[in-house]
Amino acid sequence: MIEKSKRQLALKTAWFSIFGNIILALAKGITGVLGNSYALVADAIESTTDVFSSLLVVVGLKYSTRPADENHPYGHGKAEAVVTFFVVAFLIVSAGIIAIQSIKNIQTPHASPEPFTLVVLLIVVLIKGLSYRFVSKKGEQLKSTSLKADAWHHRSDAITSLLAFVGISIALLMGDGYEAADDWAALLASGFIIYNAYLIFRPALSEVMDEHKYDDLVEQIRIISENISGVEATEKCFVRKNGMVFNVDLHLVVNGDITVRDGHELAHIVKDTLCTQIPEIADVHIHVEPDTF
């Protein structure tokens, strides 16, 4: 079962993203409208979708950390990866909206953005960069797929804001004929958002499909198990990620002359030791094999 403190830390991190995105979405939207910058308005649209996707992360974290029950004997951890798919969908939708409006703006003559928009964008890039580092660190610490996805939202926002800064700078420096540089920046940002959506989608799909990506953890499991008295070797070792925890299937090789009771007790010792030394492991299913047949 997920430790209560981990669950609370994950939820606090998600709420940090929500409140931060609300403030930045309002700031970018107002500045974009007043400063005649669609790149900033597009950035505000992305931040708004980030708010909804972060709310989904909260829902997913709450549901995925529920204990196992009769209908879900392995727990509800896969819900976190499923929620990540919805987060990706929000990104794709926002990228589509930004791209369509950018193309319309490129085809329509308009005034250049106001210089003060650059100051706002620099502040946004700084805040989003720091937010990415904070949320990404928590995602790694908690082994949370959805928090890692949320971190990528922050990084995506930082880069799209940087692109907007470049576009507005070109429009202001080059003058007449370059007013659409701002819109081209927004269009480029939409492509980057799609790319980020793929980077978020891939590990979530890997988790749902139980793809093997945990060689370091497997090696750690083998070392701990083989150092326990009575264990001669380990054979098969499969690891599945389930939310913020892992389920392990492990084959132990033991002396073929010991009793069934002794083998059973040894398996429990190995399981308890692994769960104690590697807190991210929720459960270990052990098959005991004799060293000789």
Query: Structurally, what CATH architecture does the domain formed by 215-290 represent?
Result: 2-Layer Sandwich (3.30)
pLDDT on residue 90: 78
Q: Which of 28, 170, 39, 167 is nearest to 101 (CA)?
A: 39
Which stretches of the chain drop beneath a pLDDT of 50? 1-2
Q: Which amino acid is at 67?
A: P
Domain residue spans of the chain: 4-208, 215-290
Q: Which CATH class is domain 4-208?
A: mainly alpha
Rounded Cα distance between 49 and 55, Å, is 10
Instruction: Name the 3-class secondary structure at 231.
Output: strand
| Model confidence pLDDT, tens digit, residues 221-234 | 999 999 999 999 99
Q: Which of 180, 15, 202 is nearest to 101 (CA)?
A: 180
pLDDT on residue 1: 46
> What does pTM read for this prediction?
0.69
- Chain mean position to CA 6: 16
Instruction: From residue 202, give the alpha-carbon distance in Å to each of 152, 156, 209.
Output: 13, 16, 11
The beta strands (E) that lie in the chain are given as 231-242, 245-254, 281-290
pLDDT on residue 232: 94
Q: Which amino acid is at 68?
A: A
Cβ atoms of 253 and 235 closer than 8 Å: yes
Q: Give all strands of the β-sheet with 231-242 in edge-to-edge order.
A: 231-242, 245-254, 281-290
- Tokens at residue 95, please? 């990228």
pLDDT on residue 254: 94
Q: Which of 223, 285, 231, 287 is nearest to 258 (CA)?
A: 231
Residue 162 CB partners (closer than 8 Å, separation 6+): 121, 125
| Model confidence pLDDT, tens digit, residues 208-223 | 888 888 899 999 999 9
